[in-house]
Structures are given as structure tokens and as C-alpha cells.
Structure 1
């Protein structure tokens, strides 16, 4: 039963994973705007998502996606206890999804205005892409949240 529910959210999680990775790349571009020789990098969302879905052999919600696996607990490290009031434990959070290699190859932006130091970051373009990606991420979160609310409503209904 839970695996069926999990499959319903797999596409949305996959899309959010790609959006989050793209946001990371765009913020890296903005942070390195003054670094000589830095090449602005990006990933095209639609092709990255399609590639990830195709690589996993699923073009729909028919099976669990590799990169959309939930976070799991692993016991790879132990915690140091320095006071009797501290809780002891050996569990740490570790992601169990796929690697970002599944998003496809990174593309380098073609600069609209070349600079003398070899940096290809156009701050105005990066900020626009950053804001656009953030807006799409929020929209994806809204859709996923409404799916969860619909499922909870269906589960808790008395009919």
C-alpha cells in the first residue's frame, strides 16, 4: 500500500531534485561572477528530467525512480557524548537517492558579452534564471503539497 503511495509522488520528487540541483548550479555561478576564468554552468531542466526518467526506464509514475528515494538512516558514525545530559546515538541521516550524474551532462553557457578575464557569468541573466527556477520550484512544491493533502483527505474520509 505504501509503495503505491510512494510511486504517486516519485515524479514530483524527481522534478524537485532537478530544480534544487539547478538552483545550486545557478547560485555557484552568481558566487563566482568575479572569479577569473570561471565558466558559467547550467543544466536544462526538461532534458535533465527526461534523461533521468528515461535512464530509469520510466516515462510515467509506473515505478520508483532511483533519484527520488526517501532519506534513510544509516549507522556509519557515532556521536560523541561530552555530558551526561547528552543523548547517545549512532545514527546519521544519509540520502539514499541517486547521484546528480543522473541529471545529464552540465552545459556551459555561451556568454552574451565576453569578458577579458575569461569569466562567462552574466549576473543579470543568472539572477533571472535563479528567480525563474525558484518560482518553478515553489510551484512544484505547491503541486506536491496538494497531492499529499488530497491523499490525506482520501485516507481520513469516513465514507
Structure 2
């Protein structure tokens, strides 16, 4: 149960880290002609998973029978071609990217704090068990 929680935070941190790199790339290319902003999409993939009727099993032991066990990608990078472009063809809005980077940093830091809290609780449980 505890390791499952760490896995969720680990995936969240991976997502926020990847998103930070993509946003940094957008900011770095704000003046590059014909550059199209990119984003990391996670929620759309989750919605697609919820709509699908297939069932995926979770194996806790390598000898368990796998049910539709296909490694699902958690997120992917998409190119925004729908946003209105400037005259030079670039569609990066620096203000928007800075806001997105701030939100992403807050989410990353919150996930780190939650993971640290889990470690503290686990340490406390282990310490109390020794008494």
C-alpha cells in the first residue's frame, strides 16, 4: 500500500519535470520564427483511458497472470497548432508560459512535500515499532 503511494508521486514528479522542460523550451523559443508552442498532455490520456472499456490488471507478483498488461504512457508532448500565431508564425505567449511554469512549480513542490510527509510517517511507524 505504501509503495503504491510512492509510485503515484513518482509518476507525478516525472510529469511535472517533463512539463517544466517543455515550458522552458517554449520560453527559450519565444522569438523563433515559425516555432509552435508545445505542452505535455496528461489529462486527455486519462480521459481516454476512462472511456475505454478494457480492463487492466495490477500484478503484485511477477508470477501473477497479466490482464491486458500493456505499459501505458502516462503523458505525451503535443504541439499547439490551434493557437493564433503572430506575423512570424510563432504562437508562444510569454505571459502564459510564465504562468504555466509557476503553476507547474507549485504542483511539483506540493508533490515533493507530500512524498516527504509519507516518508516521515513511515519513519515514525518504523520507530514506534521498535519500542
**Displacement of 1:44 after TM fit?**
3.4
**Displacement of 1:106 after TM fit?**
1.5
**Displacement of 1:123 after TM fit?**
0.3
Greater RCO (CA < 8 Å, at least 6 residues apart): 2
Deviations 1:45-102 (A, max 9, x none): 4335x37x88xx47xxx668xxxxxxxxxxxxxxxxxxxxxxxxxxxxxxxxx8xx64
Gaps in structure 2 of 5+ consecutive residues:
51-55, 61-70
Matching residue of 1:21: 18
What does 1:5-20 align with in structure 2 at a 5 Å threshold?
Answer: 5-20=2-17
- TM-score, normalised to structure 1, is 0.61
Q: State the superposition RMSD in angstroms.
A: 3.1
Report SS of the residue matched to 2:32. Answer: coil
Deviations 1:10-62 (A, max 9, x none): 011111111111111101000000111100000234335x37x88xx47xxx6
**Displacement of 1:154 after TM fit?**
0.5
- TM-score, normalised to structure 2, is 0.72
**1:133 aligned to 2:104?**
yes
CA distance in 2, matches of 1:46, 1:63: 24
Asked whether the 8 Å contact 1:37–1:118 carries over to 2, the reply is: yes
CA distance in 2, matches of 1:63, 1:129: 36
What does 1:145-156 align with in structure 2 at a 5 Å threshold?
Answer: 145-156=116-127
Matching residue of 1:116: 87
Deviations 1:84-139 (A, max 9, x none): xxxxxxxxxxxxxx8xx641352416435x31110010000000000111011101
Asked whether the 8 Å contact 1:111–1:122 carries over to 2, the reply is: no
Report SS of the residue matched to 1:106. Answer: strand
**1:40 aligned to 2:40?**
no
